[in-house]
C-alpha cells in the first residue's frame, strides 16, 4: 500500500493499527468474517470508477460492456450456488435488500410478521422505530421462555389471527435451525408471501451445512459477507413471478448506480463458495460452534436454547453476575471481540443487556478447529472471572497473540 502510505500517512497508520488488531485478536462477532485476498482485490479494483444505473443490457450510461459481463457472472454463479430462479446482486447491504422486498411486494400499512428484535430478529423485521415498523403493521412472534425455541404452533396461531401479507423467517441471534417447510405450510394457509432472511446463514446453506430455503420461500434476502465470506453487500433471490417487482424496487425504486467493484467481488466470492473446500469450511463452522458451546456450558455458562445448530451462540450472563456490556469491554481488553446482546425476555436495557453473542465464521476462516474452541472458551471464562483485573486480561491477550501467529488472517502477514 505504498500509494496510501505516501499519499495519506494518517489513514495508512489507522489502517495498520486495525490490521494489527485483527491479526492478533480472536474475532467472534458472528456477522463478521475475513474475505479472501481475491475478494479484497476485486473490492478495491478499477470498477469503483464506473457508474452503471440500470441492469445488464439496459443501462443509462455508456461504457458498460465489462460491467454487464461481471454482473451477469455474479448472477449466474449465485443462481448455481443457491438453486434459485432470479437474482438481483445490486443491493448495497442487508437492510436495503429487505426494504426493497417490502417496497416491491407490499403496500404501506400491510401486515408483516417477523421475530421480535429482542428475541433474535432484525431491526428490518418490524422494529417499531425502524422503517419497517413505521411503514407496516408489524406483528412479532417470539421464542418460548422455557426453551428459547420458536414454537411453530404459536407462529401459526398468530398468522391465522393477523393474516399477514408477508412472513419473515431468518434471524440475527437465533442459534437453531429454521423449519422452512413448516413456515411454508403456515404461509400457504393464510395466503402470505414467505421471505427468508438468510444473512447470517447463507454460507452454511451454500456449503450444504444447513437446509436451503429455496424450495419453500418466495423471496430470499442475504448479505454477501458474514458466513458467505464475500464483500460487504447483499442480494435478493426470488421466484421468477416476483422478478420484475423486485428489480424495479431496487432500481429505480430505492437505489441509483450499483457499486460495481462490490459486484465484481461478489462474483469472486460466489465462485469461491462453489468450490468443494467451501463445503468443508461450512461444516467446520458448525463443528466449531458446537465445540465452543459445549465448553462454555461445562464452564457454567447459560446458553439460550441450550446450545447451537449453526454458527452463533447467545449466552445469558445473569448467573455470572456480569452485564453484557461489561463483559464485552473486558473481553476487548483480553483480545476477544464479540458483542453485548439482549436475550429473550431480558429485563435489562438493550444498551446494557444481560447477554453476549458470539460466533465461529472468522476463526474458522483462520483454520482454527475444535481444540482452539476449547481454549477460546476457557479464555472467555477466565476473562469474565477477572474482568476488573487489567493485568490478568492483558496476560490472556498475550496468550491469544501466540495462538494467532499460527493462524494468519487472509491478506495480513504476521
Q: What's the N-to-C CA distance of the chain in angstroms?
A: 16
Nearest CA among 308, 310, 306, 304 for reference residue 324:
304
Distance (Å, rounded) from C-alpha 37 to C-alpha 88? 24
CA 277 to chain centre: 21
How does pLDDT run across 362-391, given as a tens digit for each residue?
999 999 999 999 999 999 999 999 999 999
| E strand segments, 165-279 | 166-169, 193-197, 219-223, 234-238
Distance (Å, rounded) from C-alpha 370 to C-alpha 345? 31
What is the CATH T-level fold of the domain 40-273, as seen in this structure?
A: 3.40.640
What's the pLDDT band for 361 if we cut at 50, 70, 90?
very high
Q: Which three three-digit cell numbers place residue 375?
A: 481454549
Average of per-residue pLDDT across 225-249: 98
User: What percent of the chain has a predicted confidence (pLDDT) above 90?
Assistant: 96
Q: How many other CB atoms are there within 10 angstroms of residue 260's CB atom?
A: 22
How does pLDDT run across 103-132, given as a tens digit for each residue?
999 999 999 999 999 999 998 998 888 888
Task: Return the bridge partners of 236, or none.
Answer: 88, 221
373: left (phi over 0), alpha (psi -120 to 50) or beta: alpha
The answer to whether 326 and 337 are in contact (CB under 8 A) is no
Query: What backbone phi and psi angles, to 5 degrees, belong to 116?
Result: -60, 145
How many alpha carbons fall within 13 Å on the CB side of residue 60? 9
Distance (Å, rounded) from C-alpha 124 to C-alpha 102? 10
- Does the pLDDT at position 414 exceed 80? no
| E strand segments, 128-201 | 137-141, 166-169, 193-197
- Looking at residue 1, its pLDDT comes to 86
How does pLDDT run across 335-351, given as a tens digit for each residue?
999 999 999 999 999 89
CA dihedral 396, 397, 400, 402 (to 10 degrees): -110
Query: What backbone phi and psi angles, to 5 degrees, belong to 26?
Result: -100, 115
Q: Tell me, what DSSP letter sits at residue 143?
A: B
The answer to whether 186 and 155 are in contact (CB under 8 A) is yes
* Residues with catalytic roles: 51, 53, 197, 223, 226, 232
- Looking at residue 129, its pLDDT comes to 87
How does pLDDT run across 153-173, given as a tens digit for each residue?
999 999 999 999 999 999 999
How does pLDDT run across 48-83, given as a tens digit for each residue?
999 999 999 999 999 999 999 999 999 999 999 999
Residue ranges of domains in the chain: 40-273, 283-404
Average of per-residue pLDDT across 125-144: 92
The answer to whether 171 and 344 are in contact (CB under 8 A) is no
DSSP SS3 for 52: coil
Q: Which three three-digit cell numbers place residue 62?
A: 455508456
The answer to whether 346 and 118 are in contact (CB under 8 A) is yes
How does pLDDT run across 289-347, given as a tens digit for each residue?
999 999 999 999 999 999 999 999 999 999 999 999 999 999 999 999 999 999 999 99
The average confidence (pLDDT) of the chain is: 97
| E strand segments, 35-162 | 54-55, 58-59, 86-88, 111-115, 137-141
Distance (Å, rounded) from C-alpha 396 to C-alpha 155? 44
Query: What backbone phi and psi angles, to 5 degrees, belong to 105?
Result: -110, -10
How large is the angle between the packed helices 324-333 and 390-404, nearest 10 degrees? 60
The answer to whether 392 and 386 are in contact (CB under 8 A) is yes
CATH number of 283-404: 3.90.1150.10
DSSP SS3 for 320: helix
Q: Omega of the bond prior to 237 within 30 degrees of 0, cis?
A: no
Q: Which three three-digit cell numbers place residue 138?
A: 408489524
CA dihedral 119, 125, 127, 132 (to 10 degrees): 180
Distance (Å, rounded) from C-alpha 238 to C-alpha 267? 18
Nearest CA among 156, 218, 346, 93 for reference residue 139:
156
- Looking at residue 128, its pLDDT comes to 87
- Looking at residue 176, its pLDDT comes to 97
Distance (Å, rounded) from C-alpha 45 to C-alpha 353? 41
Least confident of 64-68, 250-254, 410-414: 410-414
Amino acid at each position: 500500500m505504498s500509494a496510501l502510505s505516501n499519499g495519506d500517512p494518517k489513514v495508512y497508520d489507522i489502517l495498520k493499527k486495525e490490521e494489527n488488531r485483527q491479526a492478533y485478536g480472536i474475532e467472534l462477532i458472528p456477522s463478521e468474517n475475513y474475505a479472501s485476498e481475491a475478494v479484497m482485490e476485486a473490492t478495491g479494483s478499477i470498477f469503483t470508477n464506473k457508474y452503471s444505473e440500470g441492469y445488464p443490457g439496459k443501462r443509462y450510461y455508456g461504457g458498460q460492456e465489462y460491467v454487464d459481463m461481471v454482473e451477469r457472472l455474479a448472477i449466474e454463479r449465485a443462481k448455481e450456488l443457491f438453486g434459485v430462479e432470479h437474482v438481483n446482486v445490486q443491493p448495497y447491504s442487508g437492510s436495503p435488500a429487505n426494504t426493497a422486498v417490502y417496497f416491491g411486494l407490499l403496500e404501506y400499512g400491510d401486515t408483516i410478521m417477523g421475530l421480535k428484535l429482542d428475541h433474535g430478529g432484525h431491526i428490518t423485521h418490524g422494529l417499531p422505530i425502524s422503517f419497517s415498523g413505521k411503514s407496516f403493521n408489524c406483528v412479532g412472534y417470539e421464542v418460548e421462555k422455557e426453551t428459547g425455541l420458536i414454537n411453530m404452533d404459536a407462529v401459526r396461531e398468530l398468522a391465522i389471527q393477523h393474516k399477514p401479507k408477508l412472513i419473515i423467517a431468518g434471524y440475527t441471534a437465533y442459534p437453531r435451525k429454521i423449519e422452512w417447510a413448516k413456515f411454508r405450510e403456515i404461509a400457504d394457509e393464510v395466503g402470505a408471501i414467505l421471505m427468508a432472511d438468510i444473512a447470517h446463514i447463507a454460507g452454511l446453506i451454500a456449503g450444504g451445512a444447513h437446509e436451503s430455503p429455496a424450495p419453500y420461500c418466495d423471496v430470499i434476502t442475504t448479505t454477501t459477507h458474514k458466513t458467505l465470506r464475500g464483500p460487504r453487500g447483499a442480494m435478493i433471490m426470488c421466484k421468477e413471478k416476483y422478478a420484475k417487482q423486485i428489480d424495479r424496487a431496487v432500481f429505480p425504486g430505492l437505489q441509483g448506480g450499483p457499486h460495481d467493484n462490490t459486484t465484481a467481488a461478489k462474483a469472486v466470492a460466489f465462485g469461491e463458495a462453489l468450490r468443494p473446500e467451501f463445503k468443508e469450511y461450512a461444516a467446520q463452522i458448525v463443528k466449531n460452534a458446537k465445540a465452543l458451546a459445549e465448553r462454555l456450558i461445562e464452564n457454567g455458562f447459560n446458553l439460550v436454547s441450550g446450545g447451537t445448530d449453526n454458527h452463533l451462540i447467545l449466552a445469558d450472563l445473569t448467573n455470572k453476575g456480569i452485564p453484557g456490556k461489561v463483559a464485552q469491554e473486558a473481553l476487548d481488553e483480553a483480545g476477544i471481540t464479540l458483542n453485548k446482546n439482549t436475550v429473550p425476555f431480558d429485563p435489562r436495557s438493550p444498551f446494557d443487556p444481560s447477554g453476549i453473542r458470539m460466533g465461529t465464521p472468522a476463526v474458522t476462516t483462520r483454520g482454527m478447529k475444535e481444540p482452539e474452541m476449547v481454549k477460546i472458551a476457557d479464555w472467555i471464562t477466565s476473562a469474565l472471572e477477572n474482568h476488573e483485573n487489567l493485568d490478568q486480561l492483558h496476560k490472556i491477550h498475550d496468550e491469544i497473540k501466540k495462538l494467532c501467529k499460527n493462524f494468519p488472517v487472509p491478506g495480513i502477514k504476521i
